[in-house]
Structure 1
Amino acid sequence: MHILRGIWRVLLSFVAVGLVTVVVVMTAWIPVRIQDVRLGAWMVSKLAQFLARLFQIQFECPDAHKIRQHTGLIFPNHLSFFDAVLLMSVCPVRFVSMAELRSWPFIGWIAIAVGTVFVNRDNKASRQVAREQLAHQDSYFPAIVLFPEGHISDTGELMPFRYGAFEVAVSGGLPVMPCVFTYDPLPVVGWTDESLLTALWRVATYGGPIQSRLQVLRVVQPRPDDDAKQLALEMHGAMTAVLRYSGHEDDVLRPEL
């Protein structure tokens, strides 16, 4: 039964992605914006909502309205390839993504159409170009999502941050919204040393619902005299605390004065 479920989900997701890609690419030249967001980006957001339902991801984001209203940068932790899907299901956002994604069929074409900033993190020149693109955007709405860890965590813990994006935030005075993803069961949606199709097949054949929550932390407004490394360190600590103690706040908090 799980094999049939997996085949059905994978085929349906490929068809949905293919259809939306065609529509997004064909309408990319049309200067139509809804709530100051490209028409194609709204289509991708609807696709993300469909994929979350198809793979039975029960997603909760109590402060979704804050993400929809945010102008600036969003820095989430990175646990799964579904992170981007779930963020896009909340509202249209843009991403800073690995350069290889640009050449992927369908997904890469969608990424280009919605204004993704591509970066090869192993190439200094590519990183510099991406920083300049981030620093010279005409608008920071929809918000731009950047995963400060640089890649998906294979342990579930928060990995070290790359602080280049924090330097961009400080120099440009860009508001930063930290967010923390959690999943249950995490091993089902995680992506470690395996192909994307292998990871997708594991999720597609999983029989139970997958619980996911995105917790929005307080927006940080950098000052011109802020130290980017210190800002990154403080945000790393706050996100680590939420990731570790979310749902178990009594382990570290007491109501007494």
Structure 2
Amino acid sequence: MITLRNRPYLPIWFHRGLSRAMGVVIRTHGRPAARSRVLFVVNHLSWSDIPVLGARIRGSFVAKSEVAGWGPVGWLASFAHTVYVARDRRHSANIQKNEIGDRLRAGGNIILFPEGTNSDGTGVLPFKSSLFAVVADVPGVTIQPVTLAYTRINGVPVTRGDLPDLAWVGDTQLAPHALGFIGLGQVTAEIIFHPAIDPAAWPDRKALARHCHLVIAAGYRRLMRGHGPGEG
């Protein structure tokens, strides 16, 4: 049983220290919702998202089950009590939904990657509406859309040619990618905390997923074009 006394959060200072060691400078726009039972919905780019987001958000991650086997990243995720989602097993969906629901009902926060996988950094993939099903079962849940982007390398704006060094996709091995990422130098990660929303304001989870996708994808485009979160 998860209680408020044993919230499954690694301390923020741990993630901040790890991000600094990786050479990542984090810039934030807005703030995470200052309440409990928040479902933070975020686009997903790389293994590095875990320490970067963990440095700013107190919450448990939801990740695909393969993450558990990703060496140090899997250890870090498991240590943070990540909820693993078996994407290819439909019968496990209710178990996963119940575990996420239990975390929220206990007053915890959840960090969800609704794309279901890493994007290649050129944009935000469509969201899986099934991952929003938990909001119907837990009263008092707040959703906060969050945009994450890696925008600069050593102060220079990221180009399309830089994206394979930042986004971790396909069959790329973790260790070489991590070493390459760290070898880039100073990487700027930007996070937009969009206004929190009440999921009850949308007629169903598909409409809710579409809204979150539109907000997050628009924020990603602005950041990657070098604009601020409220600019064109």
TM-score (norm 1): 0.73
Shift of 1:220: 1.4
Alignment-derived partner of residue 188 in structure 2:
211
Shift of 1:117: 1.1
Going from structure 1 to structure 2, the CA distance change for 1:199 and 1:70 (only over 3 Å counts) comes to farther
Alignment-derived partner of residue 43 in structure 2:
77
Q: Deviations over 1:163-195 (max 9, x none)?
A: 012222234342111100111235232112201
Aligned-residue RMSD, C-alpha? 2.9
Contact 2:192–2:229 (8 Å) recurs in 1: no
Match of 1:112 among 70, 78, 95: 78
SS in 2 for 1:129: helix
The AA in structure 2 aligned to 1:46 is W
Contact 1:176–1:219 (8 Å) recurs in 2: yes
Bigger Rg, which one: 1
SS in 2 for 1:130: helix
Q: Percent identity at matched positions?
A: 23
Alignment-derived partner of residue 128 in structure 1:
94
Going from structure 1 to structure 2, the CA distance change for 1:248 and 1:60 (only over 3 Å counts) comes to closer
Going from structure 1 to structure 2, the CA distance change for 1:175 and 1:138 (only over 3 Å counts) comes to closer
Contact 1:78–1:151 (8 Å) recurs in 2: yes
SS in 2 for 1:223: helix
SS in 2 for 1:97: strand
User: How does 1:25-40 map onto structure 2 within 5 Å?
Assistant: 33=5, 37=7
TM-score (norm 2): 0.80
Q: Deviations over 1:46-68 (max 9, x none)?
A: 3321221112111112334x256
SS in 1 for 2:29: coil
SS in 1 for 2:214: helix
Going from structure 1 to structure 2, the CA distance change for 1:127 and 1:198 (only over 3 Å counts) comes to farther
Shift of 1:97: 1.4
Alignment-derived partner of residue 14 in structure 1:
none
Distance across 1 between alignment mates of 2:229 and 2:90? 44
Number of matched pairs: 216
Match of 2:135 among 158, 169, 172: 169
Shift of 1:142: 3.5
Alignment-derived partner of residue 144 in structure 1:
110
SS in 2 for 1:137: helix
Shift of 1:140: 5.4
Shift of 1:151: 0.8
SS in 2 for 1:211: strand
Contact 1:48–1:85 (8 Å) recurs in 2: yes
SS in 1 for 2:150: strand
State which drifts further: 234-243 or 131-140.
131-140
Going from structure 1 to structure 2, the CA distance change for 1:225 and 1:89 (only over 3 Å counts) comes to closer
